[in-house]
Structure 1
């Protein structure tokens, strides 16, 4: 086995960790609530929100730090933090200790997010990169999709604490392999000062934005989001004037492939991350399936993604990523539109077929899109680019859930979801899928507008053509 294949093995093992940690906890929340008797549901939600907030805030800054001091160091540090914080999660004696441990776990995940894809990208030449990234993306989606299923199985049979105990053991193994196998990547701008002010502005901007999303549609949620937009303006103003920014805004301004590929990723995640949430409600409350059976039905989508993501990644090595990714976005539009036509009597085979169709769309979009993002920047910016890939995913997850909850509130009000409310629930699910299909139409335009990676449309792309 060659060195680059070992790099692929380690980064793929890691690709499963952080999305699994982010998605598995949702299914365990009722059991966590029963253990700690949480007095406030908002406090319980912080078990999931604390992880996402911490990961989103630190991923880009530590991607930049990794580019400066070395990616292997940050990568192994992140895995070590995940090991320790997962042990603390499993040993938590109160809801407050669990929330704090989850925030630390998100911090460790940020260090992994900002380095894993960068390490993999640096290990493979451009002509082979799409295939490798495709395999990595397959494991990322598998972690996102398997989280609720595997997390539910563990919680039901042996308890939610074993989710974190098992993850601590798994992450320890990956950290040991990384320590023994990985070589330190080249360091860029070792003597450049770190942009502490930009990092603080970036963190404040994302914190207020995600806090605002969690409070939508209250007036406070709107005000906090407006505050985050003001913070965004201050952040970009500072970064444009800083010779050593934490995020090179010039990459967005001068590199259309990087800009529109990230925008397309954000839209795609915003339109699709809540699919499992919507379908689990539909399958349970309207079709009458128990949670375990509903979880098994939803597995149809990640299986197709896992099969086709490496193939679509390899295809993007030979065909422009813009074309392949846009085809995938188009299939997502059709798949979401099919789900908007769901009725209480929709047969199971049609639901599974639509899930498989969506899985193919995700596979065709995600791998080539990640390939476009990573291959459109210079080697010294791989860490920041890797961080942006993860940031788009995390913000997209938050946006998707917020959009779905807002639609539910508009149609159902504050009524508790139950089988007695199947009519309004059905209308809410249909409306959400229709909105998400419309979002993907916008995403399709963003995907098509990015330009060709191999046309030399930007100075950076021209550089990669020579490598």
Structure 2
């Protein structure tokens, strides 16, 4: 296999798996009301499905990125794809909300193994002058999954039933697994080094404590959990400064591109996942749209992402990628700000405009920010840099979903969503959008503060 063929095959696999997991996530978003009705689940359980998935990813991204550096990025990537596919199949046979949640946890584990190593593999295979294009094409795979997911998710849920979604996920996963088994090359840049198990444990404990405490802020134990998480994170820092093979090389944060690139990704992805969740609830509950119609409307933003992302990737190879990512953050903020103005009378045109602007901003930001972060480190740190970026993306999504969960639970409590509490629901959704708009505006400034 020539080097050119190696890059081509890797790019094909990258696009395929980049399509798979967002397809699963976005299709399930449209199926959430149907799943809740079947299992008699509350609104808090709906947010919990998304939050737990993201939490597991946040805990495991960095350890799996480090494991990939030590034992082979392609190997861990392949194992993750296998776990993701099997758990998708089992999800179709869920008989309770508890069983469904367990299968989602295993999907999250597989996803963490995949995306902790994908960008590192691409950075290892492509020179800096070509990475923007490669990241742009894999981003396009993500956004195609986000377009197809709501449409098929809505159609299949409304016509056949939500379980069929997981049969389809299984078929796609099998195809991706077969594709990666044909890929023989691997990268092992830290062979012989050891995984920092203590650091992995401390990081996991701190993430769980902080996020769970924040997400359940009305609980009397929430403050203690947050404080405990901060203490655990401080101990993690001290451990990382002293071990021979740290989980995270803290010197990477001396680069402003690496540090502020990750901070801005935290904010951008928080806006990304929370807005999708909010709009899905708004369309199906408050506007009364069926899942298919809601899916078609939600897909507007993803179509904008598909159009913009390859262009953004090529653009970031030609001009300063920091400027491209900042422009994306500006558009993201404007899009969310316009969403706060949506009401029953203007929902069609104001909502459509805001989704287009928001999608264009995400499309500009995705590949350019990835190039900024990955190009700021030496190749021996590609694995941990890729995993760190994936981690902060999940943490940002968890943080934003925590805000949404806090607002919804405060105004609705643990009650199932019904016409009786629609007034409280619409207030909670608009308040959530205002909070996300403010967070996105902060992201503009953090994007500017790079090298």
TM-score (normalizing by structure 2): 0.91
Q: Which residue of 2 aligns with 1:392?
A: 392
Pairing of 1:316-335 with structure 2 (within 5 A): 316-335=316-335
- Asked if structure 2 preserves the Cα contact closer than 8 Å seen for 1:121 and 1:133, the reply is no
- Asked if structure 1 preserves the Cα contact closer than 8 Å seen for 2:342 and 2:350, the reply is no
Q: Which residue of 2 aligns with 1:4?
A: 7
Query: Shift of residue 31 of structure 1?
Result: 3.9
- Which region of structure 1 is more displaced relative to structure 2, 90-99 or 361-370? 90-99
The answer to whether residue 436 in structure 2 is matched with residue 433 in structure 1 is no
Query: Shift of residue 269 of structure 1?
Result: 1.8
Label 1:389 to 1:151 Cα distance change in 2 as closer, same or farther (>3 A).
Answer: farther
- Asked if structure 2 preserves the Cα contact closer than 8 Å seen for 1:59 and 1:390, the reply is yes
- Asked if structure 1 preserves the Cα contact closer than 8 Å seen for 2:215 and 2:406, the reply is no
Q: CA RMSD in A?
A: 2.6
**1:316 and 1:357 mapped to 2: Cα distance?**
20
Query: Shift of residue 52 of structure 1?
Result: 2.8
- Asked if structure 2 preserves the Cα contact closer than 8 Å seen for 1:12 and 1:139, the reply is yes
**1:409 and 1:76 mapped to 2: Cα distance?**
39
CA offsets per residue over residues 409-443 of structure 1, 9 Å max, x none? 55666776555655554444333322222212211
Label 1:103 to 1:143 Cα distance change in 2 as closer, same or farther (>3 A).
Answer: same
- Which region of structure 1 is more displaced relative to structure 2, 256-265 or 414-423? 414-423
- Which region of structure 1 is more displaced relative to structure 2, 386-395 or 57-66? 386-395
**1:350 and 1:43 mapped to 2: Cα distance?**
30
Q: Which residue of 2 aligns with 1:101?
A: 103
Counterpart among 21, 24, 38 of residue 24 in structure 2: 21
Q: Which residue of 1 aligns with 2:367?
A: 367
- Asked if structure 2 preserves the Cα contact closer than 8 Å seen for 1:64 and 1:384, the reply is yes
Q: Which residue of 1 aligns with 2:154?
A: 152
**2:157 and 2:330 mapped to 1: Cα distance?**
37
- Which region of structure 1 is more displaced relative to structure 2, 158-167 or 423-432? 423-432
Label 1:261 to 1:61 Cα distance change in 2 as closer, same or farther (>3 A).
Answer: same
SS of residue matched to 2:182: helix
Q: Which residue of 1 aligns with 2:203?
A: 202
Q: Which residue of 2 aligns with 1:460?
A: none
**2:248 and 2:269 mapped to 1: Cα distance?**
22
Aligned length: 448
Counterpart among 114, 136, 142 of residue 116 in structure 2: 114
SS of residue matched to 1:190: coil
Query: Shift of residue 60 of structure 1?
Result: 0.9
**1:189 and 1:279 mapped to 2: Cα distance?**
43
**2:269 and 2:160 mapped to 1: Cα distance?**
32
CA offsets per residue over residues 244-290 of structure 1, 9 Å max, x none? 111112211x1111000000010112233221222234334544433
Label 1:39 to 1:134 Cα distance change in 2 as closer, same or farther (>3 A).
Answer: closer
Label 1:359 to 1:80 Cα distance change in 2 as closer, same or farther (>3 A).
Answer: same
- Asked if structure 2 preserves the Cα contact closer than 8 Å seen for 1:344 and 1:426, the reply is no
The answer to whether residue 131 in structure 2 is matched with residue 137 in structure 1 is no
Query: Shift of residue 378 of structure 1?
Result: 1.5
**2:403 and 2:291 mapped to 1: Cα distance?**
23
Query: Shift of residue 313 of structure 1?
Result: 1.2
Query: Shift of residue 304 of structure 1?
Result: 0.6
Query: Shift of residue 77 of structure 1?
Result: 1.0
Q: Which residue of 1 aligns with 2:212?
A: 211
- Asked if structure 1 preserves the Cα contact closer than 8 Å seen for 2:29 and 2:280, the reply is no
Label 1:153 to 1:225 Cα distance change in 2 as closer, same or farther (>3 A).
Answer: farther
CA offsets per residue over residues 45-67 of structure 1, 9 Å max, x none? 65544433332221110111111
The answer to whether residue 356 in structure 2 is matched with residue 342 in structure 1 is no
SS of residue matched to 1:388: helix
Q: Which residue of 1 aligns with 2:353?
A: 353
TM-score (normalizing by structure 1): 0.88
